[in-house]
Amino acid sequence: MQLFIDTANVQEIRTAAGWGILDGVTTNPTHIFKSGRPFEEVLQEIFSIVDGPISVETVSLEAAGIVNEGRAVARFHKNAVVKVPVMVEGLKAVKQLAAEGIRTNVTLCFNALQAYLAAKAGATYISPFIHRKEEAGQDGLEMIKEIRGIYDRYGYKTKILAASIRTTREVLECLNAGADVCTMPFNIMESLYHHSMTDAGLKMFLDDWKKVPPVKLFAAAPAGR
């Protein structure tokens, strides 16, 4: 499963990229607003940090407008993926963009039927929103399993990009449900590394290490080799 970060905060993206496990970025209009920076400027910086798929959302409500915005996004950078809301006009645009070889990420998906339609339209990615669905009292993870089943049964190549993740448990469940990609906020990605027993175990080892007689082996290793 690929790991994407869901933000337009370049400090967070830079830090996560430095960890060596980041495959891509997803943005949305709210992230761009929260960055407090001009759209093109923040995008340019994100593309310079991560060499992987970066989703940029369209805002038109008509297919023709979405297609124009999508072409502009695709021209902006070779790694751009055009993020399009799942709706009639959106999926008409996705079909056209796919015919032009432009990659798309169909977003705001809340059930498997929408995911099925996105796949039929030729979407590269589908973004089912897990946590927002859970907050509405519905089963977000079951949706991922259903989409996985439908795509596998009928051979759709659209990748499942699990989105709206707010807990590490949801990341694990996405892995178990067969998501192709999981996009998450910085704090959740950082939390994936941690376990209180790891911290306690490390402290114990390092405390005991202080009692070991001086070690020549590590001192002899030149820095950076």
Contact residues for ligand G3P, defined by CB under 6 A: 6, 26, 28, 127, 129, 131-132, 163-164, 183
Query: Of 192 and 198, which CB lies nearer to ligand G3P in the complex structure?
Result: 192
Query: Of 66 and 165, which CB lies nearer to ligand G3P in the complex structure?
Result: 165
Distance in Å, CB of 73 to ligand G3P, minimum: 16
Is 83 among the residues known to form the active site?
yes
Distance in Å, CB of 170 to ligand G3P, minimum: 11
Query: Of 46 and 225, which CB lies nearer to ligand G3P in the complex structure?
Result: 46
User: Structure tokens of 219?
Assistant: 């001192």
Distance in Å, CB of 206 to ligand G3P, minimum: 36
Query: Of 46 and 208, which CB lies nearer to ligand G3P in the complex structure?
Result: 46
Of 83, 95, 145, 203, the active-site residue reads 83
Distance in Å, CB of 130 to ligand G3P, minimum: 8
Residues designated catalytic = 83
